[in-house]
Structure 1
Amino acid sequence: MIRTLIPLAAVAALLGACSNDGAKAPAGSQAAVVVADALCRPTPVGRQATGCYLTLTSPAADTLVSISTPAAGRTEIHESKIESNMMMMRQLKAGLPLPAGQTVELKPGGNHIMLLAIEQPLTEGQTIPLTLNFAAAAPVTVQATIGQPKIDEYGTPTGH
C-alpha cells in the first residue's frame, strides 16, 4: 500500500507544480471588484445614447465583460483614442482588462460605458442601477447618478 501511495503523491506534486496560475477561480471565490463614483450623462428628449463613467479596483486580475441596466436596451464597453488626428471610439468586444490591485478609471475621452437604445430620458439627479459582470468576480450592482462629469478650465475631465 505504501508503494502505491508514494508514486501517487509524486504525480500529485508534479501536477500541482504545472498548474496554470492564470486559471479562473471557481465562481464566487474571488473577492469583489470595488466600484466607485458611477455617473451617467443626462439625455435630452429624443437622444437614445449616453456615456457612463466610474472607477474599478479589482483585487485580482479580471476583466469587465458586460454591463446591464433596465435604463437601456443595450450596453457596450468603449474605448476612445486619437487615430489619424481624430478621436475614434470603438467597442471593446473582449471586455476591459482590470490589472490586480490597480484602479481603472472610465472617463470622458477614454474608456467608458455606452448606454444605447434608451427609451426614457435620463434626467439630472436621477439614479439608475448598473450591473457590472466580470470574467471571474461576482457581478456588482451600483446606483449611477445622472449628471455631468466635472471638467477643469482646460476642458479636461477631473473626475466624476
Structure 2
Amino acid sequence: MKTFTKLAFLGIFAATGIIIAGATAAQDAPAKLGDLEVTGAFTKAMLPGQPVGGGYFTIKNNGKSDDMLVSVSSPVAGTVEMHEMAMQGEVMKMRKLDTGIAIPAGKTVELTPGGLHLMFLKVKEPFKQGGKVPVTLSFEKAGKVDITLPVEAAGPGGHEHK
C-alpha cells in the first residue's frame, strides 16, 4: 500500500494534472447493461511525461442483486487497474483493488478523483483534451459493456465531488 502525506498527495496530483474536481462534460448517453447503468464517464488530459491517467464514472445498480466490477481494459493502455484512495488522518493511502469494486443492489457507486478510480498504466499516447478513451468494463454477473471517456482539460474545472 502506498502512503502519502496530504501535502505530497496534493502536489503530485497538481503536477500530473489529476485534480480533485469533477467533470464538466461527460459521456453523453448512459451505457446500460442489464440492471446496471454507467453515466458521467470522463478522464483528464495528461501532461507531458505523465506516466498514468485516471478514469471516472458512476455506476447505478437498479437491480435486486449485487454485482461486482471485476476488470477493466482499454486498447490505449497496457493495463487498467481499479484503485481506492482514502484519507486516514493526515495520510492519503492508495491501493489497487485486486478483487474489483462492489456494486450493491439498489445503490450507486461513484468513481471520482480522490476516491475509487481507474488507473491507466503503460499508456500508448498521452490523453489529449477533446479526445476519447475507449474502455471495456467487465462485471461478474452483468457481463461486459463498452464505454467512452471524453478527455477533459488537465486543470481544475467542473463541479466538485463531495
Letter paired with 2:47 = P
Structure 1 stretches of at least 4 aligned residues deviating more than 2 Å after TM superposition:
148-152
Partner of 1:123: 128
1:1-80 residue pairs with structure 2 within 5 A? 31-58=34-61, 59=63, 60-80=65-85
Note if contact 1:48-1:118 (Cα within 8 Å) is conserved in structure 2. yes
SS in 2 for 1:139: strand
Deviation of the 1:61 alpha carbon: 0.7
Larger Rg: 1
Is this contact kept in 1: 2:69–2:101, CA < 8 A? yes
CA distance, structure 2, for counterparts of residue 125 and residue 72 of structure 1: 18
Distance 2:138 2:35 in 1: 11
Q: TM-score, normalised by structure 1?
A: 0.72
Q: Displacement, 1:46? A: 2.2
What is the alpha-carbon distance in structure 2 between the residues aligned to residue 78 and residue 129 of structure 1? Answer: 19
Corresponding position of 2:142: 137
- SS, match of residue 158 in structure 1: coil
CA distance in 1, matches of 2:89, 2:98: 22
Looking at structure 2, the residues matched to 98 and 135 of structure 1 have their Cα atoms a distance apart, in angstroms, of 10
Tell me, in whole angstroms, the C-alpha distance in 2 between the residues paired with 1:45 and 1:71. 16
Of all paired residues, the percent bearing the same amino acid is 35
Shift of 1:119: 1.8
Gaps of 5+ in 1: 1-29
What is the number of residues matched between the two proteins? 126
| 8 Å CA contact retained: 1:32, 1:138 | no
Amino acid at match of 1:109: G
Q: Which runs of 5+ in 2 are unaligned?
A: 1-32
Q: What is the alpha-carbon root mean square deviation over aligned residues?
A: 1.9
Greater relative CO (CA pairs within 8 A, separation 6+): 2
